[in-house]
Structure 1
Amino acid sequence: MSSPEDPFPLAAAAAAVIAERTGVQQHDVGLVLGSGWGGAAELIGATVAELDAADLPGFARPAVAGHVGTIRSLRTDAGRHVLVLGARTHYYEHRDVRAVAHGVRTAAATGATTVILTNGCGGLRPEVAPGSPVLIADHLNLTGASPLEGATFVDLTDLYSPRIRALAREVDPELTEGVYAQFPGPHYETPAEVQMARVLGADLVGMSTALEAIAARHAGMEVFGISLVTNLGAGISDEPLSHAEVLQAGHDAGPRISALLAGIVRRL
């Protein structure tokens, strides 16, 4: 049986390559860009270096349209370094849960003490229209999996940082928050599954983030999550679901959410 420590040497190896190729010995913040969030990096800081993720230990090219296969090192005006992970691995890619967690573990190995997890998701509240950013207050992990192995017990109380959520509301006082439910994917949820998630307390449904958040907390990082509602969940709206709709919603909301995320990073 694999030991809980096994994933970490690979993350350390990736971090060592990042340090060598970027010239940045320590990053402060890790940022995972999900569907619709790709333009945010341009407003956060100047690019120090951009790497092909597939050239780094443990990373692979993204399997999803709309995701970039690069890792960028940014320097903010305040002199902080942000590691932008565009190469997210989803659980439905069937690599393994270690691969899903590898990005945030690598960010932690570069020295980052904060991680920002973004995603595009389905909304379960009709009053929260597509194009709306929503703070993640908690999650439901419906994948049936965990990135932790063995007798590894981690407290997930206040997993999604109340401190950073408060900072986000300083940037945009109209931000709402909710509970994010991660399904395995890659298929969209059925109307019955959406209703189940609502009964369980979910406001958002998607195929990422929860497993990464657990791994980040285990690595000692402060976790902030924010979703972009790209569509209403199945059965909430009469419209059929499609990935093209997700990409279009992200494109349309791009300027707003990019400015929002940059404002949050400046306050960290």
Structure 2
Amino acid sequence: MKDIKQKIQEAVLFIEKEMDCRPEIGLILGSGLGILADLIENAKVIPYESIPHFPMSTVEGHAGELVCGQIKGKSIVMMKGRFHLYEGYEAQDVTLPVRILKALGINRLIVTNAAGGVNTNYEVGDLMLISDHINNMGRNPLIGPNDTELGERFPDMSEAYSKRLIQLAHRVAEKQKFSFREGVYMGNLGPAYETPAEVRMARIMGADAVGMSTIPEVIVARHAGIEVLGISCITNKAAGLLEQALSHDEVMEAAEQVKPKFLKLVLEIIEEM
């Protein structure tokens, strides 16, 4: 069985042959937010299925493409669609693309997701800067032997989400006459939505939003020394806060409505990074 460094090397060699790209910033886009890829200049696109050892996206709203090019004068590489533990992947498989992005050259990463609002003050359509997270997935991508060339055995997670980048995002939002929420994201395994009791538990534990992604990617990014900015799009009120059933269609519809605001903010954040 191939070790992780061999997988990274083979994927990077393939990507570099397909596209002339030395990115400085990486982006991982959540459900319904892949439209940002349409704004990349000189875009080169590779389907995930073509890249050695890359998993496959199986969820609606995740296109399954790696896109490289320029945005606002910055060289970027974008994952248009991500992978989730609930799809049946191991944590190391879900996070292998982050290792590959690091080997391609990135040192800053923007991760976005669709999330349910646990904080009762949040409304559908709010954008939340992730200040911290709670890993409630029962999985950690760093379990197993550690290769010190990839990162230290016990990485510090006291600043999983860069305070510098959070302040930058607030400054950008203020210029655009917009206010980000800022809060704690809880990651659950999924794919079932949380029960009302689980949402009450999340609130007691200090979560402001819940979702089924992002945390494994951020753990590996920090292990690799990558600076991270996380943004959650609040696409629905979590279970028990409204007298209605939750659905993925509702999530996609809310993501569609917030796209103009999301695009404008992220474009200027990239320019200022």
Q: TM (normalized to structure 2)?
A: 0.92
Tell me by how many angstroms 1:40 deviates.
Answer: 1.9
Q: What do the CA deviations read for 1:133-182 (whole angstroms, capped 9, x no partner)?
A: 10000000001111103362110011100111111111113111100000
Query: Are the equivalent residues in 2 in contact too, given 1:92–1:185 (CA < 8 A)?
Result: yes
Where in structure 2 are there 5+ consecutive unaligned residues? Answer: 147-152
Query: Are the equivalent residues in 2 in contact too, given 1:104–1:115 (CA < 8 A)?
Result: no
Q: 1:217 aligns with which of 208, 211, 222?
A: 222
Tell me by how many angstroms 1:123 deviates.
Answer: 0.5
Aligned equivalent of 2:150: none
Q: What do the CA deviations read for 1:84-115 (whole angstroms, capped 9, x no partner)?
A: 01241101111211111012111101010011
Q: Does 1:265 align with 2:261?
A: no
- The whole-number CA distance in structure 1 between the counterparts of 2:54 and 2:118 is 33
Aligned equivalent of 2:85: 91
Q: 1:194 aligns with which of 179, 196, 199?
A: 199
Q: Which stretch shifts more, 171-180 or 8-17? A: 8-17
Q: 2:104 aligns with which of 110, 130, 137?
A: 110
Aligned equivalent of 2:19: 22
- Give the alignment of 1:131-150 within 5 angstroms: 131-148=125-142, 149-150=144-145
- The whole-number CA distance in structure 2 between the counterparts of 1:10 and 1:109 is 11
Aligned equivalent of 2:181: 176
Q: Does 1:32 align with 2:28?
A: yes
Where in structure 1 are there 5+ consecutive unaligned residues? Answer: none
Equivalent pairs, count: 262
Query: Are the equivalent residues in 2 in contact too, given 1:231–1:246 (CA < 8 A)?
Result: yes
- The whole-number CA distance in structure 2 between the counterparts of 1:259 and 1:222 is 21
Q: What do the CA deviations read for 1:179-225 (whole angstroms, capped 9, x no partner)?
A: 00000000000011111111110001000001110000111100111
Aligned equivalent of 2:3: 6
Aligned-pair identity (%): 37
In structure 1, what residue type is equivalent to 2:4?
Answer: P
Aligned equivalent of 2:256: 251
SS where residue 108 of structure 1 aligns?
helix
Aligned equivalent of 1:58: 53
C-alpha RMSD of matched pairs (Å):
1.5
Query: Are the equivalent residues in 1 in contact too, given 2:61–2:81 (CA < 8 A)?
Result: no
Query: Are the equivalent residues in 2 in contact too, given 1:179–1:203 (CA < 8 A)?
Result: yes
- The whole-number CA distance in structure 1 between the counterparts of 2:214 and 2:31 is 12
Moved over 3 A (4+): none
Q: 1:101 aligns with which of 95, 99, 103?
A: 95
Query: Are the equivalent residues in 2 in contact too, given 1:88–1:103 (CA < 8 A)?
Result: no
Query: Are the equivalent residues in 1 in contact too, given 2:58–2:87 (CA < 8 A)?
Result: yes
SS where residue 130 of structure 1 aligns?
coil
- The whole-number CA distance in structure 1 between the counterparts of 2:173 and 2:231 is 13
Query: Are the equivalent residues in 1 in contact too, given 2:30–2:81 (CA < 8 A)?
Result: no
Query: Are the equivalent residues in 2 in contact too, given 1:179–1:201 (CA < 8 A)?
Result: yes
Query: Are the equivalent residues in 1 in contact too, given 2:55–2:94 (CA < 8 A)?
Result: no
Aligned equivalent of 1:241: 246
Query: Are the equivalent residues in 2 in contact too, given 1:40–1:258 (CA < 8 A)?
Result: yes
- The whole-number CA distance in structure 2 between the counterparts of 1:47 and 1:35 is 24
SS where residue 56 of structure 2 aligns?
coil
Q: TM (normalized to structure 1)?
A: 0.94
